[in-house]
A and B are shown apart, each in its own frame.
Chain A
Amino acid sequence: MPLDTRIKKVLIIGSGPVVIGQAAEFDYSGSQACLAVREEGLTAVLLNPNPATIQTDHSIADRIYIEPISAETIGMIIRKEGIDSVIASVGGQTALNAAMQMHRSGLLGSGVSLLGTTPAGIEAAENRNMFHELMKRIGEPVPDSAVLDRVSFPLAVEGMGEQSYIVRTSFSLGGSGGVIVDNRKALKSYCETFFTENPAETLEVEQSISGLVEIEYEMIRDQLDNCISICNMENLDPMGVHTGESIVVTPSQTLSDIEIQMMRTAAIKIVRALGIIGACNIQFALDPATERYYVVEVNPRTSRSSALASKASGYPIARISTKILLGYALPEIRNPLTKNTSAAFEPSLDYITVKIPRWPFDKISSNHRIGVQMRSVGEVMGIGSNLEEALMKAVASLDTTESRRLRLYKPREELLDLLREPNDLRLFAIFEALITGIPVETISSLTGYRPYFIEKMRNITDELNKIIIGSIPENLRELKVLGVSDSIIAHFARLDDLDLTRHRMAAGMVPAYRIIDTCSAEFRSSTPYMYSTYHGKDEVPPADNERKIIVLGSGPNRISQGLEFDYGSVKATKALISMGFETIMVNSNPETVSTDFDFSSRLYFEPLTLEHVVNIIIKEGRPRIMIQFSGQTGQNMAMKIAELFGEDIVVGTSPSDIYRIEERTKFAAAVDAAGLLQPSFAVVRNEEDAEHVFERIHLPVIVRSSFIIGGRSMDIVYDFRDGIQRIKDVLTAFPEHPVLISEYLANSVEMDVDFVSDGSAFMICGISVHLEEAGTHSGDAISLLGPSLVSSETRLEISRIVGILVREFRLRGISNLQIAANERGIFIIELNARSSRSIPYVSKAFGIDVIHAGISMALGLEQPIREVAEPTSYFCKIPIFPFKRFPESDVLLSPEMKSTGEGLGIGKTMEEAVSKAFSIQNPSSVIGDSCILSVSDSNKPAILDLVGRLRDEGITIFATPGTHFFLKKHGIRSVLVFKIGDKRRPTIKDVLENQDIFAIINVPERSGGAVADGFEIRRMALGKNIPVLTNIRSANALIASLLKNPVLEAREIACYYSS
């Protein structure tokens, strides 16, 4: 079946802002889909409000709508563009939900068709009851389940088996995934409590399959009913830990062929029963003792797992499945990796890959438990010739403290707890347990990991235990064959890791590089997609182009280093290729576009650590290296790379200048010397100093480590006692660096200035203004670009400052400057000599290729261009937070970044942009009947104006006692509500449950205990999807915009470039 000629213009729905569970993998699959559509000469129209994506770039899609995803927007785009087909299978659950909404609202049908799986098929896969019914009908085993209500439960529970159950409420507050109860008795008592509190609700009870082996299959089916399995994956963590939270190995390691084929056959049967067209992911739970399995879940679309499977196997699932959606049958499609075989086959691997999730517990204070719900924000993949090598390369890629030393040094009891309860450190707890001699069987029974995997880990710890402190290990080669990183070996031997790396290089102990070819070398592959191994011969000669450059990616997605950086590295690759360079990409994040072999000349899927980067530099004959697009990761290794290969190897600002910027005391001195303003600061080296520092610097102050570690460990401190404690904490966490105390600039406006330069000349690309006052992390602030937001005097002054900094630090390439402006002048907060989070946003607001310009200047290829004109429309970037996943954490913002992603609201007016932005953050951002106010004393005067406007619109205001009486004094009526837990009624809880509340404005006092006051209010609002505004300025902006009720029109991005 060839291309379906009825298809001309395809709308591809993206996944929106990065949230936990939906991240870079959908930028990858969406980009692949766009490219596959365009390759056929069709028009790809993309909808995605996430400006950090590479897919919202005109090099990927023909027509781009950076607009909120809703049925209205989609309808508008369909009419404007004359869309005939829609692809909703490459934008995660968001796109799938949008498609179902289109189906229900009648947008599909009349001339517009949904390509791939039909809405009925999607529903059958997604609706738990329908799915279970279908499985029973086709004879596929599913866990027993029942729906209980207040009346039926006693009898029903009596008749149930003695086993553990997962209980889900039918309304699932705050996205909670369910509770596991251990036995029938526990289920009974859970039901009793629940139905007493919620007599009108129902409970969904399902036989728990916790502890079984979780296996996934990635399937593809075409319209001729050809069906193939791309690969299977085995989770090390047993059922009960979400697959996104599990360590996953590809292909399965402990399964027999009988088991593999049993589930593969079932998968094909299921895919056919659902009528899947395109890609699909199926999860099974296997009981290896009985060889029985259960069907757990089907995702009728590309997923995080399909991205992982694509990178692990080399088979580009999103690309091939898009071709299928366009009408092709599998045998008509070529395998794009080998280029000389058919896409109708199943990949065969001759290596092993291991995926490890990365959690945000370094940024979000919460307990570290993991389970049926996703909490990780990113992942890494290690590739090796055996499980040990793959696992240890994945560990190295994590870029955390544990990943560099493997040890936890925890007492036995704590260690046993870490083994027992799934948590982010469990893998390291297993290593620690093996090192300290806890038997494999004990570890296996505590963790539920199959003994095979623990035995494999023991191979690693056995070799590590042979290391003698103070000397280069005699078994260095054995350790390298097991994939153990230089830094772990150095940690065990108490050596400097750079010394160890030098020794290893001198001894000629370097890895070989091998090709990922989808076919275990059976056919020749023409794509240089490579991984390193210490297990064999090198099979790839270095790139023969003299003009070649290594581009470092940014590693696992994490809070503060996410998709925005991948955008940078992909655009950098494109720019360099257009300048005639061969690009060599290095990254270890399987979700990303940068690890798509289509985008770079060569792809090394390797950990972004000094060791692996150095190996590649040597392998490729010391080409120059670009670290500007790898976030803090590249900055942190800049000095060491320079030490080994000289400063010149780094393209852009030189490592020694980077060091002068990153070392805050040196930076501050330079800023002072240049006569520029900065908040007053002091350096504290020990606890004694801490006592005196507050005599010089007045509270509130910002406390942080003196060395930039990606904004980590930064806090605003409002009182003396807190301050001393914070200083002690930071000194303990980063003993090698002193603590910096700096003045907190209250009542100032913070701005992000992104510019490109060549060491003397420069071009300012964008000045984005934060809506919140200084002190909120720039990644968490709502940020605006638009005409006349910055006065021409300020612009001139910023230009002067940038000029001074460019010359002082010989800045080359892309840099980002954070400043705070108040009546005293413009203060320098931070300078980053690298591409920053705001680059994609700025690029899209101005419609210019900032990265191309930056690279040209860094390489000295082009003279700076004129100053960029002011934007003609308004661009409001809004952060998206993961608080729902962390019930113990507060939603208040701080200098510690907490958002996982961002959305962009664009409008011809400020109100349109702001309204769109807020609707991306929370689709229920519309004016309703009433709102709740609870504002601390110092902030009360600032709300009067806002409250007045609400009153004029006839909106009912509920206010907590302090706020209520304050308003009363100023002649504004409000309804008195009491805080949660108060005996008096109504409480905020009552009001939230019974009134149409459209927003909660809760601005707490920022010191000590007062913050805790509003905690429950904020959590409760979050659970109910009601916007919580904790900042007066953003509250003002939202309310003002909503009250103006602007018309929200969807426009192609280029429409915003002209007035």
Chain B
Amino acid sequence: MYYLCLEDGSTFAGTGFGAVVPAYGEIVFTTSMSGYLEAITDPSYRGQILVFAFPTIANYPMEKGIMEAGVPHVAGLVTKEGHAFLTHGGYSSQLSAFLSASGVPAIDGIDTREIVLKIREKGSMRAWISPDPDKKDFSIDPLAQDLIYPTVSHRIERIRNPNSGKRILFVNAGSKRSVINRMADLASLTVVPYDLDIPDEKYDAIFISNGPGDPDSPHLRKVINYVRDRIGETRLYGICLGQQIIALAYGAKTYKMHFGHRGSNHAVTDGKRIRITTHNHGFAVDSKSAESKGIKITEWDANDGTPEGLADEKNMVSSVQYHPEASPGPHDSMDFFRQIARELDS
């Protein structure tokens, strides 16, 4: 027996798989029906216990997915049927071994819809996955530590793109590989982790990646200050956490959402047209404060109005809160990258 203990006092019993260790984190859910490997390895899930709303997970082998990092980054995994239930076939052993190699525990046989309903009503909570049903210590904020540090390479990496004469400074704040790959398709990249001094070179654009945790954290002060000093000097782009960092650099505010957006089915709109996008964010930019700093909200969530795209044309700044690189999810907004390419060439 394994247990999922939530901050509100509720406990759920299930079957453990992956590593036989306890895990503590913020519990969140995704409504994506596919792309389990992409989700598990997404560094943005650092510090979080991920619940799959879709009941059957790992129906196909890991080789058919994309590794967004070399290791799983979720703190723990909650599944309805991560195929611990399936006595034959399935790939539970493969997934289990993958998780266990990185010390990530998972719990299966959980009524994930009930957990989703709870999170929807009460918001994201702190949670334990543990062999002990009486885990009661929820005092530490799982997002308080530096979640980015373990997800990035700590040296400067240069990726050459022989087809482009342009250079982009890629600030890695916990990036998915897909984001690096899509950006590397556009120009040569200098990938610098968020905590190193950025080499003073000439860049055609600065890009801030996605990543885990609260954007308004002391660990990101350095990046935020760097970006603030570059506004108007160089083109600035960002995805997800990157958008939030740009907004903070402008002096705008960010806030923690009730339970966030995680899935591949949200529409964002620019007021005229919509596109279906992949979301993975528990924080968002506060629209009012952004607008007061001269940032334009270019796109927002069709349901709750959360700002999903920002721009300051005068200063050549543009960012999105969603994931144009998809993985998992629809490829409808790959245009974001094509737009960057066009702007670099202009």
Taking Cβ atoms with an 8 Å cutoff, the residues of A that contact B are 224-226, 228-229, 251-261, 264-265, 268, 329-331, 341-342, 344-352, 385-387, 440, 451-452, 455-456, 458-459, 462, 514, 519-524, 535-537, 539
B327 within 8 A of A: yes
Cβ contacts under 8 Å, A537 to chain B? 111, 114
Beyond A261-B329, A268-B332, is A346–B276 a contact (Cβ under 8 Å)?
yes
- The listed residue with most A CB atoms (<10 A of its CB), out of B111, B267, B326, is B267
1/0 per position for B48-60, CB-CB distance to A under 8 A? 0000011110011
Beyond A254-B59, A254-B60, A514-B113, is A345–B88 a contact (Cβ under 8 Å)?
no
The answer to whether A535 and B111 touch across the interface, beta carbons within 8 angstroms, is yes
Beyond A261-B326, A537-B114, is A385–B33 a contact (Cβ under 8 Å)?
no
Cβ contacts under 8 Å, B326 to chain A? 261
Beyond A265-B331, A344-B274, is A452–B269 a contact (Cβ under 8 Å)?
no
Cβ contacts under 8 Å, B70 to chain A? none
B53: which of A264, A350, A440 is its contact (CB, 8 Å)? A350
B266 within 8 A of A: yes
1/0 per position for B324-338, CB-CB distance to A under 8 A? 001111111000000
A522: which of B31, B85, B275 is its contact (CB, 8 Å)? B31
Distance from A291 Cβ to chain B, minimum over Cβ atoms (Å) = 8
Cβ contacts under 8 Å, B114 to chain A? 536-537
Cβ contacts under 8 Å, A386 to chain B? 55-56, 80-81, 85
Cβ contacts under 8 Å, B88 to chain A? 440, 455, 458-459
| CB-based nearest B residue for A226 | B274
The answer to whether A520 and B302 touch across the interface, beta carbons within 8 angstroms, is no
Cβ contacts under 8 Å, A519 to chain B? 31, 265
The answer to whether B66 and A253 touch across the interface, beta carbons within 8 angstroms, is no
Q: Would you list 10 pairs from A and B whose C-beta atoms are within 8 A, ordered by A residue?
A: A229-B330, A260-B34, A261-B329, A264-B330, A330-B274, A349-B54, A350-B53, A386-B55, A519-B265, A539-B113
Beyond A254-B59, A520-B31, is A342–B267 a contact (Cβ under 8 Å)?
yes
The answer to whether A456 and B86 touch across the interface, beta carbons within 8 angstroms, is yes
Beyond A344-B302, A536-B111, A536-B113, is A521–B55 a contact (Cβ under 8 Å)?
no
Cβ contacts under 8 Å, B303 to chain A? 341-342, 345, 523
The answer to whether B53 and A520 touch across the interface, beta carbons within 8 angstroms, is yes
The answer to whether A256 and B266 touch across the interface, beta carbons within 8 angstroms, is no
Cβ contacts under 8 Å, A520 to chain B? 31, 53-54, 113, 116, 263
Beyond A342-B302, A455-B86, A521-B120, is A255–B34 a contact (Cβ under 8 Å)?
yes
In the bound assembly, the distance between CA atoms of A825 and B12 in angstroms comes to 73
The answer to whether B35 and A345 touch across the interface, beta carbons within 8 angstroms, is no
Cβ contacts under 8 Å, A252 to chain B? 34
Cβ contacts under 8 Å, B276 to chain A? 228-229, 345-346
In the bound assembly, the distance between CA atoms of A688 and B102 in angstroms comes to 77
Distance from A535 Cβ to chain B, minimum over Cβ atoms (Å) = 6
Distance from A345 Cβ to chain B, minimum over Cβ atoms (Å) = 5
In the bound assembly, the distance between CA atoms of A230 and B152 in angstroms comes to 37
Instruction: List B72-117 residues whose CB lies under 8 Å from chain A.
Output: 80-81, 85-90, 111-114, 116-117
Beyond A254-B60, A258-B66, is A459–B86 a contact (Cβ under 8 Å)?
yes
Taking Cβ atoms with an 8 Å cutoff, the residues of B that contact A are 31-35, 38, 53-56, 59-60, 64-66, 80-81, 85-90, 111-114, 116-117, 120, 263-267, 269, 272-276, 302-303, 326-332
The answer to whether A251 and B33 touch across the interface, beta carbons within 8 angstroms, is yes
The answer to whether A348 and B113 touch across the interface, beta carbons within 8 angstroms, is no
B265: which of A330, A348, A387, A440 is its contact (CB, 8 Å)? A348
Cβ contacts under 8 Å, B89 to chain A? 440, 451-452, 455-456
Distance from B137 Cβ to chain A, minimum over Cβ atoms (Å) = 27
In the bound assembly, the distance between CA atoms of A260 and B64 in angstroms comes to 11
Cβ contacts under 8 Å, A459 to chain B? 85-88
Cβ contacts under 8 Å, B331 to chain A? 261, 264-265
Distance from A595 Cβ to chain B, minimum over Cβ atoms (Å) = 22
The answer to whether B59 and A331 touch across the interface, beta carbons within 8 angstroms, is no
Distance from B12 Cβ to chain A, minimum over Cβ atoms (Å) = 11
Beyond A342-B303, A452-B89, is A539–B117 a contact (Cβ under 8 Å)?
yes
In the bound assembly, the distance between CA atoms of A440 and B191 in angstroms comes to 49
| CB-based nearest B residue for A291 | B64
| CB-based nearest A residue for B269 | A331
Distance from A455 Cβ to chain B, minimum over Cβ atoms (Å) = 3
The answer to whether B274 and A331 touch across the interface, beta carbons within 8 angstroms, is yes
Cβ contacts under 8 Å, B269 to chain A? 331, 344
In the bound assembly, the distance between CA atoms of A260 and B264 in angstroms comes to 12
Cβ contacts under 8 Å, A458 to chain B? 88
Cβ contacts under 8 Å, A523 to chain B? 120, 303
In the bound assembly, the distance between CA atoms of A341 and B329 in angstroms comes to 20
Cβ contacts under 8 Å, A535 to chain B? 55, 80, 111
- The listed residue with most B CB atoms (<10 A of its CB), out of A224, A348, A386, is A348
The answer to whether B111 and A225 touch across the interface, beta carbons within 8 angstroms, is no
Cβ contacts under 8 Å, A331 to chain B? 267, 269, 274, 302
In the bound assembly, the distance between CA atoms of A347 and B263 in angstroms comes to 11
Beyond A345-B265, A451-B89, is A350–B60 a contact (Cβ under 8 Å)?
no
Beyond A521-B53, A523-B303, is A348–B263 a contact (Cβ under 8 Å)?
yes
| CB-based nearest A residue for B34 | A257
Apart from the given pairs A226-B275, A350-B55, A350-B113, 9 other A-B contacts in the complex at a CB distance below 8 Å: A253-B56, A257-B34, A260-B34, A261-B328, A344-B267, A346-B330, A350-B116, A520-B53, A539-B117
The answer to whether A257 and B328 touch across the interface, beta carbons within 8 angstroms, is yes
Cβ contacts under 8 Å, B87 to chain A? 459, 462
The answer to whether B55 and A345 touch across the interface, beta carbons within 8 angstroms, is no
In the bound assembly, the distance between CA atoms of A508 and B184 in angstroms comes to 60
Cβ contacts under 8 Å, A349 to chain B? 33, 54
- Nearest 10 A/B pairs, CB to CB: A455-B89, A257-B35, A536-B111, A256-B64, A257-B328, A520-B53, A348-B31, A257-B34, A346-B265, A344-B267
Distance from A342 Cβ to chain B, minimum over Cβ atoms (Å) = 4
In the bound assembly, the distance between CA atoms of A265 and B53 in angstroms comes to 24
In the bound assembly, the distance between CA atoms of A451 and B276 in angstroms comes to 32
Beyond A458-B88, A459-B88, is A257–B38 a contact (Cβ under 8 Å)?
yes
Cβ contacts under 8 Å, A348 to chain B? 31-33, 53-54, 263-265
| CB-based nearest A residue for B118 | A521
Distance from A439 Cβ to chain B, minimum over Cβ atoms (Å) = 11
In the bound assembly, the distance between CA atoms of A538 and B156 in angstroms comes to 53
Cβ contacts under 8 Å, A256 to chain B? 34-35, 60, 64-65
In the bound assembly, the distance between CA atoms of A261 and B330 in angstroms comes to 6
| CB-based nearest A residue for B80 | A385
Cβ contacts under 8 Å, B275 to chain A? 226
In the bound assembly, the distance between CA atoms of A348 and B33 in angstroms comes to 7
Distance from A341 Cβ to chain B, minimum over Cβ atoms (Å) = 5
In the bound assembly, the distance between CA atoms of A387 and B81 in angstroms comes to 10
In the bound assembly, the distance between CA atoms of A437 and B218 in angstroms comes to 62
In the bound assembly, the distance between CA atoms of A256 and B90 in angstroms comes to 13
The answer to whether B65 and A258 touch across the interface, beta carbons within 8 angstroms, is yes
The answer to whether B55 and A352 touch across the interface, beta carbons within 8 angstroms, is yes
Cβ contacts under 8 Å, A536 to chain B? 111, 113-114
In the bound assembly, the distance between CA atoms of A98 and B55 in angstroms comes to 44
Distance from B57 Cβ to chain A, minimum over Cβ atoms (Å) = 11
The answer to whether B120 and A522 touch across the interface, beta carbons within 8 angstroms, is yes
The answer to whether A455 and B265 touch across the interface, beta carbons within 8 angstroms, is no
- The listed residue with most B CB atoms (<10 A of its CB), out of A254, A330, A458, A535, is A535
Cβ contacts under 8 Å, B117 to chain A? 521, 539
The answer to whether B90 and A455 touch across the interface, beta carbons within 8 angstroms, is yes
| CB-based nearest A residue for B303 | A341
Cβ contacts under 8 Å, A268 to chain B? 332
Distance from B261 Cβ to chain A, minimum over Cβ atoms (Å) = 9
The answer to whether B302 and A345 touch across the interface, beta carbons within 8 angstroms, is yes
| CB-based nearest A residue for B81 | A386
The answer to whether A350 and B263 touch across the interface, beta carbons within 8 angstroms, is no
Cβ contacts under 8 Å, B302 to chain A? 331, 342, 344-345
A253: which of B59, B111, B264 is its contact (CB, 8 Å)? B59
| CB-based nearest B residue for A512 | B111
In the bound assembly, the distance between CA atoms of A226 and B267 in angstroms comes to 10
